[in-house]
Chains A and B, each alone.
Chain A
């Protein structure tokens, strides 16, 4: 079996993370913003798995399970909030919702 060096994995995770961050900053639709955040969090999860594989420990994968559970909770609350926002504002555009300034 060919083993892939950890650095490759970290580069992949880093690329995903940056893509998520770009999406977060560029997108205006709240659902896409939430998806971008999910990509960032999962990139971090992938990085944990690569790191765990490097050290030959299960810790990285355990951490990934926690991350998975947490991001599910986060999305559940997030979507609930988005539903309320859609009821109230009839839009999912982040800039329309944002009224507080200063």
Chain B
């Protein structure tokens, strides 16, 4: 390996080293604040190192990894989200009195796995990244093990994620058997518009099942509500942003590279998945009475929207998908921050009743939560609106009318349940409300920091999107250029 190779892997090295340092620190002396501080510093350093690396991109480490601007953008997203999750977790875990420090090792490793996914271009690295991410998540989800719901969520995630890994692996094996290469670029050249053989087709179908589970799209979504509901709120935020972001980055790279739009069967499969996700996600969210479950079903719908961007298959689609994912990550992180700030050892404030009349007791928190709900619903002046606008224009541009119409109609349904939460917050408080210790707890400095940062980003993105859009266009357009040049 050359010095440039090491240099371009700097963020991953920083995160991995931090995980080891935290382990040693725990062995010397347990101190929650120090460990959380080291993790924060690691995420911040890794994020800053990305700016230096832009000088050497695109850089390939054959055959496993490729570091291009697209990967750097997704890594930035992953590190920023992990930074916010660390702050939230510090706040959330403080009230517990068991061993908290190992949590941060798992968080660092999960972020490492997700960023490996963003730079993978080979089945081996995809598999390793995915497994580092999932195995850390099993333990993170079940971390508060005194809680029954927590263990149940951990077990459900373990079984479904391990099973989906098996599907993914078997699919990879079949693709390898039929094409003779595990490198995405070689595969792209071997395929280059030729018909898929039956073996490769089955292989891709199994891989779609595996990836579909990780992204929680219909019909592979069954674990989502239970895991979102049962996991500690900061971990739920992590799953919704980092884990899905990493897997989506991979999916996008893979399918741009092999040029999925040439294979009608794959496009149809993804269109069906997208439509089903939008419809089921939004309709089932209507029936829920728990904020975490509502957000879980809404995440299924949002992944459906993302697939619409990705399926439009013109030069807008990668930009639109990334833009939407960024907006969604900011928003959902904000929403789960509020849930996690209101929760604690006493109870998890996730029932809709917990939020009834919240405005009269916590006006600022309610205002922020309202902004997040508006953004999820795609109301103007928020990040969500800009994201949805770009997806729609990508869809309209390539005349995917069915997808666009379903997107618009289901967004209207979505508006209803987001507003249901908002209405609950602003309704007048009644006297016979149960006492909620979590609701009245004051918000710590770290919590204020996360919320303020996310709210500013949300509104800024919504009101002055130009800067974000040109940043994303600069960063991710490289993806298509890289692969187009390779195919030609």
A interface residues (Cβ-Cβ under 8 A, vs B): 6, 10, 13-14, 17, 20-21, 24, 30, 33-34, 37, 40-41, 43-45, 47-48, 50-52, 54-55, 57, 59-60, 62-63, 66-67, 70, 73-74, 77-78, 80-82, 84-85, 88-89, 94, 97-100, 102
Give me 15 A-to-B residue pairs in the complex whose CB atoms sit less than 8 angstroms apart, sorted by A's number.
Answer: A14-B170, A37-B159, A40-B170, A44-B172, A44-B173, A47-B177, A48-B173, A51-B177, A54-B177, A54-B180, A57-B180, A63-B182, A70-B127, A81-B154, A102-B225
- Residue contact A77 to B128, C-beta cutoff 8 Å: no
Inside 8 A of A52's CB, which chain B residues have their CB? 176
Main secondary structure of the interface of A (DSSP, over half): helix
- Residue contact A88 to B151, C-beta cutoff 8 Å: yes
Inside 8 A of B293's CB, which chain A residues have their CB? 102
Would A98 and B173 be within 8 Å (CB), given that A41-B166, A84-B151, A88-B151 are in contact? no
Q: Which stretch of B142-150, B263-271, B316-324, B352-360 is in the interface?
A: B142-150
Inside 8 A of A97's CB, which chain B residues have their CB? 151-152, 155
Selected contact of B170 from candidates A17, A80, A98, CB within 8 Å: A17
Inside 8 A of B152's CB, which chain A residues have their CB? 85, 97-100
- Residue contact A6 to B135, C-beta cutoff 8 Å: no
Inside 8 A of B151's CB, which chain A residues have their CB? 81, 84-85, 88, 97
Q: How far is it, in angstroms, between the C-alpha of A58 and the C-alpha of B153 when the chains are bound?
A: 38
Inside 8 A of B154's CB, which chain A residues have their CB? 81
Number of B residues whose C-beta is below 8 Å from A?
A: 43
B interface residues (Cβ-Cβ under 8 A, vs A): 123-124, 127-128, 131, 135, 138-139, 142, 145, 148-149, 151-156, 158-159, 162-163, 165-167, 169-170, 172-174, 176-177, 180, 182, 199, 225-226, 229-230, 287-288, 290, 293
Main secondary structure of the interface of B (DSSP, over half): helix
Would A30 and B155 be within 8 Å (CB), given that A37-B166, A44-B169, A74-B135 are in contact? yes
* A-B complex: 6 closest residue pairs judged by Cβ atoms: A51-B177, A47-B173, A44-B169, A40-B166, A44-B170, A100-B226
Selected contact of B180 from candidates A55, A74, A89, A98, CB within 8 Å: A55
Inside 8 A of B131's CB, which chain A residues have their CB? 70, 73-74
Inside 8 A of B165's CB, which chain A residues have their CB? 41, 70, 74
Q: How far is it, in angstroms, between the C-alpha of A62 and the C-alpha of B173 when the chains are bound?
A: 12
- Smallest CB separation, B154 vs chain A (Å): 5
Would A37 and B182 be within 8 Å (CB), given that A66-B124, A99-B152 are in contact? no
Selected contact of B177 from candidates A37, A50, A73, A98, CB within 8 Å: A50
Q: How far is it, in angstroms, between the C-alpha of A74 and the C-alpha of B153 when the chains are bound?
A: 16
- Smallest CB separation, B428 vs chain A (Å): 28
Chain B residue with Cβ nearest A54: B177
Inside 8 A of A82's CB, which chain B residues have their CB? 155
- Residue contact B145 to A84, C-beta cutoff 8 Å: yes
Would A47 and B124 be within 8 Å (CB), given that A84-B142, A102-B293 are in contact? no
Chain A residue with Cβ nearest B159: A33
Inside 8 A of A74's CB, which chain B residues have their CB? 131, 135, 138, 158, 162, 165
- Residue contact A73 to B142, C-beta cutoff 8 Å: no
Chain A residue with Cβ nearest B169: A44
- Residue contact B128 to A66, C-beta cutoff 8 Å: yes
- Smallest CB separation, A86 vs chain B (Å): 10
- Residue contact A100 to B230, C-beta cutoff 8 Å: yes
Inside 8 A of B148's CB, which chain A residues have their CB? 88-89, 99
Inside 8 A of A37's CB, which chain B residues have their CB? 159, 162-163, 166
Inside 8 A of A40's CB, which chain B residues have their CB? 163, 166-167, 170
- Residue contact A85 to B176, C-beta cutoff 8 Å: no
- Residue contact B176 to A78, C-beta cutoff 8 Å: no
